[in-house]
């Protein structure tokens, strides 16, 4: 019964609407990339790392301490975030400092936070 609330009561095709959306539709590569981005944001540890890096650049050790997980776990998650181009790093001697890759990441994260706080 609840399933029927999510469906039309009858089948009718609105050709103009369908055509407009089909012309604007993402290609498969873009859809996969966007899904991977949102998948990355589906892990609480990665979300905490991104939130920490919104504030300032941090080394792996400091990030681990801030979010309360091992350096190994942070390193693993940073590798995923780096692969998805959400974070970048710079080396200073033997220390790696991470920061958000660009302002788009901060905006995406900020909009997500705004959405859940409404």
Walk me through the domains of the chain, giving residue ranges and CATH numbers: 14-117 (1.10.10.10)
Q: How many CB atoms lie within 10 A of CB 46?
A: 22
The model's pLDDT over 32-67, given as tens digits with 9 standing for 90+, comes to 988 988 898 899 999 999 999 999 999 999 999 999
Q: Which helix (H) or strand (E) holds 10?
A: none
Residue 2 has pLDDT above 60, yes or no: no
Q: What is the model's pTM?
A: 0.80
What is the average pLDDT across 103-111? 88
Residue 82 has pLDDT above 60, yes or no: yes
pLDDT given for residue 7 in this prediction: 76
Residue 1 has pLDDT above 60, yes or no: no
| CB-based contact 88:50 (threshold 8 Å) | no
Q: How many CB atoms lie within 10 A of CB 87?
A: 23
Q: How many CB atoms lie within 10 A of CB 82?
A: 14
State residue 94 phi and psi, 5-degree precision: -95, 0
- Tokens 């029927």 locate to 4
């Amino acid at each position: 019964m609840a399933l029927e609330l999510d469906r039309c009561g009858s089948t009718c095709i609105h050709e103009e609407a369908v055509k407009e959306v089909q012309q604007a539709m993402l290609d498969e590569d873009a859809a996969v990339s966007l899904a991977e981005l949102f998948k990355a944001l589906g892990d609480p540890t990665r979300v905490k790392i991104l939130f920490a890096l919104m504030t300032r650049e941090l080394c792996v050790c400091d990030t681990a301490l801030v979010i309360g997980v091992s350096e190994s776990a942070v390193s693993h998650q940073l590798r995923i975030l780096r692969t998805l181009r959400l974070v970048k790093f710079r080396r200073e001697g033997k220390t790696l400092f991470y920061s958000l890759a660009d302002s788009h990441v901060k905006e995406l994260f900020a909009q997500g936070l705004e959405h859940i706080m409404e």
